[in-house]
Amino acid sequence: MSPLQSLLLSHRQGHNVGLYSVCCSNEQVLRAAMHVALAHDTLLLIEATSNQVDQFGGYTGMTPPQYRDYVWQLADAEGFPRERLVLGGDHLGPNAWQKLPAAEAMANARVLIEAYVAAGFHKIHLDCSMSCADDPTPLPDAVVAARSAELAVIAERTAVENGLPLPVYVIGTEVPVPGGEASLEGGLAVTTPAAAAQTLAIHQQAFDTPPLRDAWQRVIAMVVQPGVDFDHSSVHDYDPADAGELADFLEQQPRIVFEAHSTDYQRESGLHALVRDHFAILKVGPAATFAYREALFALAAIEAQLLPAGQCSQLPQVLEQVMLAQPKYWQAHYHGDEATLRLLRAFAFSDRCRYYWGEPALVQAVATLFANLEAHAPPLVLLSQYLPEQFRAVRAGALSNTPAELVQFHVGLCLAEYARACSDNQAGTRRENESTQTSVLAKG
């Protein structure tokens, strides 16, 4: 049994623990995640999506082995033990090739799953829910499950051939497509127990073959919609009452937990309540890179106060120029007049600017910003103005006044909420009202 399975077993045995998953490839975010996991003595689950990383490179330009090596190098540099690091693959299936016929898309998906498992990715989210070019829409549940099982057979064989621990699996996909956020207009439907039961039953049937019967025992979680999401400018907060029937349903199931996607920007009290209600795997991605962008913009504002304009990185302006020159990652998602679009490009909760930080002009702008603030350390008065939490930490001697440390600290403020929510540090019965929960946290 892997440490991940042991943790989730502890949850099912009544301990108020969970697992947070950092879905990101940003270096400063991953370093911050390692700091947080060390500070809170937790496992660290880092996941790549099928959009980010695939056999062709994805939008990060990395294949699964390259991504693994990249994360391992960061872990070694930060002194983070590899044995506490779990790699996961999210939405693995034909997602990136939906415009192709199903036979061709699934051929790519088979190579994708083999590449992830061979590279040592242990937690595998099987997601074949999307319709390909010649598929009906929506895709029948039986087809989704059959395709997922087909990929699981490849995953099992690949792990054995490479002498690796057998993977654990996540099924289901009641979430927005990878990289996209649903509009919250018209409300948000929580998965019904009947729908969850059908997903579970049809996948169990698809796994009921000689190659996969043992693998079914390693299906650790099911993705459902607990009533949390965000769009460009608003957040739908978790309401325990809305998800009560779903939580009750899970208590009757052996072994598995729920996995909650799009938990970004939830209040910390909501994260605690999610874990308590068996949404024991919490996914976070855009909120972490949103915090990264916040910190960079704050540092750019400090830089502008310290140095002549000609010496400054002009980072916010460079980001805007790059996004305008290459609109493919935001143009289909953001709508409105020019003023609205300008605001969304930089500040939207959906944080589609995260796709651009690897562009050469932005890499150079960040390097210039860091070099300027390493040569001219931010005065305390400007830290207090633009990064008040960092100001207090620097004053307390707990943080170095360097740009990389200031950025990582800011991202860590976000991720630490997840680490605390996944720790066994809050008592109480399920579906307590939020005021009681907040009181417990305040005393904690």
Give residue 406's pLDDT band: very low, low, confident or very high (50, 70, 90): very high
- What's the pLDDT score for residue 188? 81
- What's the pLDDT score for residue 1? 86
Return d(Cα 34, Cα 32) in angstroms, integer.
Answer: 5
- Determine the topology of domain 290-410 in CATH: GI Alpha 1, domain 2-like (1.10.400)
Q: Would you tell me which CATH number, out of the four given (2.40.50.1040, 3.20.20.70, 3.30.428.10, 3.40.50.300), belongs to the domain 3-284?
A: 3.20.20.70
- For 368-404, the pLDDT digits (tens) are 999 999 999 999 999 999 999 999 999 999 999 999 9
Q: Which residues pair with 235 in a beta bridge?
A: 230
- What's the pLDDT score for residue 186? 61
Average pLDDT over the chain reads: 93
Sequence-separated (6 or more) residues with CB below 8 Å from residue 187: none
State the span(s) of the chain assigned CATH 3.20.20.70.
Answer: 3-284
* CB 126, CB 151: distance < 8 Å: yes
- For 42-101, the pLDDT digits (tens) are 999 999 999 999 999 999 999 999 999 999 999 999 999 999 999 999 999 999 999 999
- What's the pLDDT score for residue 429? 33
At residue 283, does pLDDT exceed 70? yes
* CB 261, CB 283: distance < 8 Å: yes
- For 111-149, the pLDDT digits (tens) are 999 999 999 999 999 999 999 999 999 999 999 999 999
For the chain, how many residues are written? Answer: 444
* Rounded average pLDDT over 201-226: 97
Return d(Cα 127, Cα 200) in angstroms, integer.
Answer: 13
Peptide bond before residue 138 is cis, with ω within 30 degrees of 0:
yes
Reported pTM: 0.92
* CB 83, CB 212: distance < 8 Å: no
State the span(s) of the chain assigned CATH 1.10.400.20.
Answer: 290-410
Give residue 184's pLDDT band: very low, low, confident or very high (50, 70, 90): low
